[in-house]
Amino acid sequence: MTSTVDTADRVTGLARGMRELVAAEAAESERTRTLTPAIVDAMWQSGLMSAFNPVAAGGVEPSFAEMIETWIEMAWQDGSFGWIGIANLPSSFAAATYLPDEGFAEVFTANDNRVTLGGQFFPNGQGQAVDGGYRLSGSWSFGSGTGHAEYVAAGFLPMDDGEVRWASEGVPDMQVAVVPRDQISFNDGWHVQGLKGTGSYDYSAEDVYVPECRTFPLFTREPRRGASPATRMGLMGATAAGHASWALGVAKSMLDDVEELAATKFRMSDMASLASRPTFQKGLAHHVAAWRAARLLVLHAFGEAESAVAAGQGLTPTLRADMRVAAVYATGVARQCAEWAHLVAGTSAIREGTRLERAFRDMYTGTQHAFISEKVAIDAAQIWLGVIDDQFGL
């Protein structure tokens, strides 16, 4: 039997083995505004692209700790590469875990599990219910990972005779459609400050038939396949862990680069190296310690929730709130580390095309995401305080 340590090393090692290639291809990914074919091919050849999937879909079902460390590694290499890790990998994980059997056979089995999935899960579309499925129409923005995806995820609201379908009182039914690429219209909208290499295209669908077997509920935590606790924690948990890990990975790359730079960095009119300055030493100690603490918080929050689910307990609102707050907090700490690293690096951080410059742009693009906004922290605090019993979006 493979031990947890062996699995962790294997999964994270798949990403670690791509360091040279990702570094060499980063500029080209930015130029073409999507990951280069060389990187995508290497993700498949190494097994990284399907590693998070259930075993039935070619994955190894890693623990949350293993996923977190893999995402940190990918984002440390390059922000766009890391973002693809938190876009494509959880997307295929969710589809492979929650699609009905007929849809799984059509999407995964029929393609020998070589399925790249990206897109936008927020329900910006409407699906008119028809016999056997839905007629899907809508427009979606920021479809991360769609530049090289064979299937596109599209969140939608089911409509019955023109009326919204409700999952419970005050909560609309929210579903995700898995649509073949050739049925989607892509719009040229990915001209951005950072994360340029993620192929996060805008896209739309117009009256596309989607069989019900290629849809699943956005907030489901009832797996159809897979045995790991993660499959019983839903897409929101994996997405939160991904955002936290991505920010930590990009921040670590900047802290590491500044630490390496410090020995040879001299500012104009000052003959002392950056590394010899007490103010820099204090700042480095503070931000590295803050980064380590944030990483441990993320591992703890997601590990506690995972352990509870593994023991047969429910994923309570408090556990979900804890995970989401950890992701928001870690993102904030990572942003502060990036600000400090950019400032102390001086002009070394502003030269276009350098790793520091690219990471800084990526950080301030990725941390704009609504998934780790202050609204999430407020919702979580209200659960802790007993102001509300639950928030279905957590």
Q: Show the domains of the chain with their CATH numbers.
A: 9-98 (1.10.540.10), 117-217 (2.40.110.10), 229-385 (1.20.140.10)
Neighbours of 207 (CB within 10 A): 8
Cβ atoms of residues 254 and 212 within 8 Å? no
pLDDT of residue 269: 61
The residue whose two tokens read 């979006």 is 393
Burial code of 233-270, b = ≥16 C-beta within 10 A, e = fewer?
A: bbbbbbbbbbbbbbbbbbbbbbbebbeebbeebeeeee
pLDDT of residue 266: 67
Could you read off the pLDDT tens digit of each residue along the chain, which spans 394 residues? Answer: 333 344 457 799 999 999 999 999 999 999 999 999 999 999 999 999 999 999 999 999 999 999 999 999 999 999 999 999 999 999 999 999 999 999 999 999 999 999 999 999 999 999 999 999 999 999 999 999 999 999 999 999 999 999 999 998 889 999 999 999 999 999 877 899 999 999 999 999 999 999 999 999 999 999 999 999 999 999 999 999 999 999 999 999 999 999 999 878 666 566 678 888 899 999 999 999 999 999 999 999 999 999 999 999 999 999 999 999 999 999 999 999 999 999 999 888 898 889 999 999 999 999 999 888 999 999 999 999 999 999 988 9
pLDDT of residue 3: 35
Please tell me the number of Cα atoms within 13 Å of 294 on its side-chain side. 30
Burial code of 288-318, b = ≥16 C-beta within 10 A, e = fewer?
A: eebbeebbebbbebbeebbebbeeeeebebe
pLDDT of residue 333: 98
pLDDT of residue 6: 46
pLDDT of residue 2: 37
Alpha carbon distances (Å) from 163 to 130, 206, 243? 13, 18, 34
Neighbours of 215 (CB within 10 A): 25
β 215-217/171-172 pair status? unpaired
